[in-house]
Structure 1
Amino acid sequence: MGFERDGPGLLLRDIAGGGDAQVRAAVQVLATLGADVLLLTGFDHDHGLAALDAFRAELARAGLSYPYRFALNPNTGVPTGLDIDGNGRLAEARDAQGWGRFPGAGGMAILSRLPVLDGQARDFSTFLWADLPAALLPPDMTPQDRASQRLSTTAHWDVPLLLPSGEALHLLAWHATPPVFDGPQDRNGRRNHDEAAFWLAYLDGHLPAAPPDRFVLLGDANLDPVRGDGRPAALLSLLAHRGLTDPLGAQPTVDYGPPLGALRLDYLLPSARLAVTASGILRPDTADPATAAALAAASRHWPIWIDLSG
């Protein structure tokens, strides 16, 4: 969604003020989408979820009610106390667990019409990068860095929702670092790869926590599997995983314009036992003029969606 602001409290100010063009556009887009469950990425986190609740209220005024919400502290902006980028200065945005000007910058949130089983949610955001099997750690990573650097740039969550049948549907959500903006050691490219590789390890039972049976893997991988910079091996393995389906295929989800153009960065990958009855991307070139204008004002990323049964 891209609701990051330059400092804490500014997103709440923009939502509550009622005059922010991006907020109005996002509400219009999401009202058009009408989803039962939303994952918002790039949404600034605050301790009391005040900004998220204010945004829920705006959606409710547009006729879209989400009685349940879920959000935890992300890694973005969390100080490490280390000089991660090696420039001789501490406490900068690039020295945080995940790039961020302040703790909570650009977090994630879930809004849902289905009850969220908060007590059963798993937050893997403190999982150390060095603990991932076969991690692609940078060769210049110090022992101190290895002992403190978390894998998740933003977060990795397993959040169960209660279906009307009484069964649980798990959302496996993440928002990875862009695989660029680093140096010759390719720290961000390696980390981006391993943020996707975490889900491979989870689904294949190579981590202490057992994976769920019914789930949707979703989020912003910040990586196109065939175009642009990055190390796509783990993402390609996810797309080909026997336990997942890829109903949206190779369609782009964002258009940065020249020279990058249209890329596929966002993913909805339901488990193979779930039946997908419909799927799509709300794109400016296929939407009505009013929705197209709202999409352009809301975010560079386009909403992707699936309908499920079974």
Structure 2
Amino acid sequence: MIRMRRLLVLAATLAVATGVLAPTAQATQDRAHIPGAVRFATFNASLNRNADGELLAHLATPDNPQARKAAEVIQRVRPDVLLINEFDYVSGNRAVELFRRNYLAVGQQGARPIDYPHAYTAPVNTGVPSGFDLNNDGKVGGGDDAFGFGLFPGQYGMVVLSKYPIDTAAVRTFQNFRWQDMPGAVLPEGWYSPEELGVFRLSSKSHWDLPIRIGRKTTHFLVSHPTPPTFDGPEDRNGRRNHDEIRLWADYVTPGKGGYLYDDAGKRGGLKPGERFVIAGDQNADPVDGDSYQNAIRQILNAPKVIDPKPGSLGAIEAARDQGGANVGQRGPSWLDSGDFNDKAPGNLRIDYVLPSRPLFPLAAGVFWPTARSPLARLNDTSDHHLVWVDLLA
């Protein structure tokens, strides 16, 4: 068994190094049948609503069409550890419990139910009033003046579901870290007043370090959802914020760079050297296309120890070809796309990531984006994002 594991590790290393790691239909359904393989995933499921309490009402019964589709996507891919972006935060885990009980625990359209005994969610910055005119429109109030854009506190929140224990006592959150406290922050010059910068939080939602206990080892699940680098003006305040939200994780996992960071409990510093981690989330940044500031995602892709398994799908290739429009002439390979924005600018993009660290080893990776001929193509309109997964030897 040890020899077989070593051979698998060698094969995975060569696959990553040569860029030939690819999903298979069987792996998408059942994962690699290898002892110790763990599937990590991220899914911007668009389970956000326009009013406080609306998601709770929709999940209270088992017949919300979009929630059923989101649950089926999860049941088809069957991740072991999953980040869901755009899941409105409700205190007391009530929305999470309803989603687990009324949707994930119920087989959807022939898919098998799935159980996640462990879950984590927490407050986010979206919709939290700042008390300042952050968008400089001459009035205070509304979603664009919140610490993160949102119509109510908790909109566009996050939740992590896991089949493995989450060490909640050791969780670190960075909801309150101030943007100006990042050395060399790319703040928009002259846009925010000193008083605004004194309270302005970097994270548009939050950044969480969740230690996941897998067997005798711990893997840190580093999750976030940076703001889109759009919906602003020539000052590029959202693009610059997206860049530094992404930089937070790059500094956190790079020895010697995260000393300035402080979490919400006051603990300083980044991740200890030698720790295993997986960075996941809708980063709203493509390595080459789109509107991100200075190719922001490359900060993580080029960080020491980070592995890019390059998950892809045939569905993304097909969509870019058939939709045309803004997809024509893009520099990045459509195979890697995870965000489906049709033919509108900037076209489909690679913006959702699951990035493990060495010594974790990717065995398979993919984006759940069925082709038009697949019976599962009916799930492609669940969200404007597609679930991204990676199987790891943890």
Deviation, 1:19, is 2.5
Deviation, 1:282, is 0.8
The match for 2:223 is: 173
Provide the identity percentage. 38
Q: Do the aligned partners of residues 77 and 225 (structure 1) sit closer, same or farther apart at CA in structure 2, a change above 3 Å counting?
A: same
**Could you list the runs of 5+ residues in structure 1 that have no partner in the other structure?**
none
1:122-271 alignment, distance < 5 Å: 122-140=172-190, 141-164=192-215, 166-204=216-254, 205-207=256-258, 208-212=268-272, 213-248=275-310, 251-259=336-344, 260-271=346-357
Q: Do the aligned partners of residues 268 and 98 (structure 1) sit closer, same or farther apart at CA in structure 2, a change above 3 Å counting?
A: same
User: Is the partner of 1:169 in helix, strand or coil?
Assistant: strand
Which structure's relative contact order is higher, taking Cα pairs within 8 Å and 6+ residues apart?
A: 2
* Higher radius of gyration, 1 or 2: 2
The match for 2:171 is: 121
Q: Deviations over 1:159-179 (max 9, x none)?
A: 001112x22111010101010
Distance 2:248 2:389 in 1: 23
1:87-106 alignment, distance < 5 Å: 87-106=137-156
Matching of residue 36 in structure 1 with residue 80 in structure 2:
yes
Distance 1:84 1:210 in 2: 29
User: Is the partner of 1:2 in helix, strand or coil?
Assistant: strand
Distance 1:143 1:210 in 2: 27
The match for 1:112 is: 162
User: Is the partner of 1:61 in helix, strand or coil?
Assistant: coil
1:12-91 alignment, distance < 5 Å: 12-57=56-101, 58-62=103-107, 63-91=113-141
Deviation, 1:286, is 7.2
Distance 1:84 1:235 in 2: 25
Please give the root-mean-square deviation of Cα atoms over the aligned residues, in Å.
Answer: 1.4
Q: Which amino acid aligns with 1:309?
A: L
Q: Which amino acid aligns with 2:55?
A: L
Q: TM-score, normalised by structure 2?
A: 0.76
Q: Which amino acid aligns with 1:148?
A: V
**Does the 8 Å contact 1:224/1:232 carry over to 2?**
no
Deviation, 1:241, is 2.0
Deviation, 1:78, is 0.8
User: Is the partner of 2:105 in helix, strand or coil?
Assistant: helix
Q: Which amino acid aligns with 1:51?
A: A
Deviation, 1:288, is 2.7
**Does the 8 Å contact 1:25/1:295 carry over to 2?**
no
Deviation, 1:2, is 1.0
Q: Deviations over 1:10-65 (max 9, x none)?
A: 00111123222111111111110111111000000011121111011120122100
Q: TM-score, normalised by structure 1?
A: 0.95
**Does the 8 Å contact 2:48/2:87 carry over to 1?**
yes
Distance 2:165 2:270 in 1: 22
Matching of residue 302 in structure 1 with residue 353 in structure 2:
no
**Does the 8 Å contact 2:246/2:299 carry over to 1?**
no
Q: Deviations over 1:117-167 (max 9, x none)?
A: 111000011110001121001112210111100000011110001112x22
User: Is the partner of 2:132 in helix, strand or coil?
Assistant: coil
Q: Which amino acid aligns with 2:278?
A: V
**Could you list the runs of 5+ residues in structure 2 that have no partner in the other structure?**
1-44, 108-112, 259-267, 312-332
- Aligned length in residues: 307
